[in-house]
Structure 1
């Protein structure tokens, strides 16, 4: 039975905005697409996800933005290992050192696509800055979601929100974060403004496209 064009169109929209895991090939990536990295269960990755996860279908600990330049795909991001850099998509994938198919593509809705050129320019101006291990906002170092929020700030795509380091299963500051900040001689910045990959993924200005296959 032939599916009417209108019905097919509605189905495609529902699929693209739901948690349905489609596969996205490199050739289907667009300039300005966001690449989220799925979180692990342990170590820093697990600690980030424990206190920031909003949706049981989405658990992320890192994010970058795609730049499509003269037929080549690059990721602009703030790396914990390399600082704020621009690197090829395959190099980006290799540095994650996780299971394959752990990269998830999100895309700005069509009404915000015009903001991307200025966003890419803003992101490039931040390259070279070191990684911010305190996750306390400052202008001299950046962490991954901070890098992305600042790049899009001119268009108000994302918002800074009060950070929390409370483990929802205990209602108390997560032990990992207590130790993490104690080693830096800092108080846990509970309630200070910031952002995280899970929070950015929840923006109503972007849609989930699917898992990236390299």
Structure 2
């Protein structure tokens, strides 16, 4: 029943969202091609594990990230999801599912020109269909969500790589969610290997916060 209702409401909800965010040129919420969207934490075990070990001094609660493209007054998001790999979805699909309604924050990249943005979007499109990288090791096949966005903007030095940690900052021991994850994969936890995460990327000095958009 819920699924049927959601399917009926999706076109209307997307129309309203697009009208508010794209057509109102004077609105501070106007989404532009190349804008970055960060999605809030969910109740999933892996999502919580990501959030708990990646908190920064500027506290945020992001566990997912994507890049926007505006085409014919429609807003699309390119992102890498654990269920689908790298995909292109409407922004309404990005923040709404049958299981969760997410909070999404909109950021804009500073000091980047249109040619750079177009090259980044070209890269984003080329990677659509690639699998999700469940090991979170950069050298392995596929892309996890923040790795994908890092790769898209790598030539523009928007984001940086840092040693990853999978430890709970309070206990200094490996988070149980990550222990379970890597036990299931049958590989050691890649502590201190270079990587990136949504919370860290949200604190890039190349990003300007625009608004919470839903």
TM-score, length-normalised on structure 1?
0.82
Name the CA distance, whole Å, in 2 between partners of 1:31 and 1:51: 31
Query: Is residue 26 from structure 1 mapped to residue 34 from structure 2 by the alignment?
Result: no
Name 1:74's counterpart in structure 2: 76
Question: Structure 2 regions of 5+ residues with no counterpart?
Answer: 1-19, 23-29
Question: What is the aligned partner in structure 2 of residue 103 from structure 1?
Answer: 104
Which 4+ residue blocks in structure 1 deviate beyond 3 angstroms? none
- Please, which runs of 5 or more residues in structure 1 have no aligned partner? 1-24
Check whether the contact 1:32–1:67 (CA below 8 A) recurs between aligned residues. yes
Greater strand percent: which structure?
A: 1
User: Greater relative contact order: 1 or 2 (C-alpha under 8 angstroms, separation 6 or more)?
Assistant: 1
Partner of 1:94: 96
Tell me the alpha carbon deviations over residues 168-199 of structure 1, each in whole angstroms, 9 at most, x when there is no partner. Answer: 11011112211210111110000001111011
Q: CA deviation at 1:139?
A: 5.8
Matches of 2:34 and 2:207 in 1, distance apart? 11
Please give the per-residue CA displacement for 1:68-109, whole angstroms capped at 9, x wherever unaligned. 122221100001111101111112222384345x01101111
CA contact (8 A) 2:46 2:178 kept: no
Match of 1:59 in 2: 61
Measured after TM superposition, the shift of residue 42 of structure 1 is 5.5
Query: Under a length normalisation based on structure 2, what TM-score does the superposition of the two structures give?
Result: 0.82
Whole-Å Cα distance in 2 between the matches of residues 97 and 160 of structure 1?
A: 32
Q: Once superposed, what is the RMSD of the aligned Cα atoms?
A: 1.7
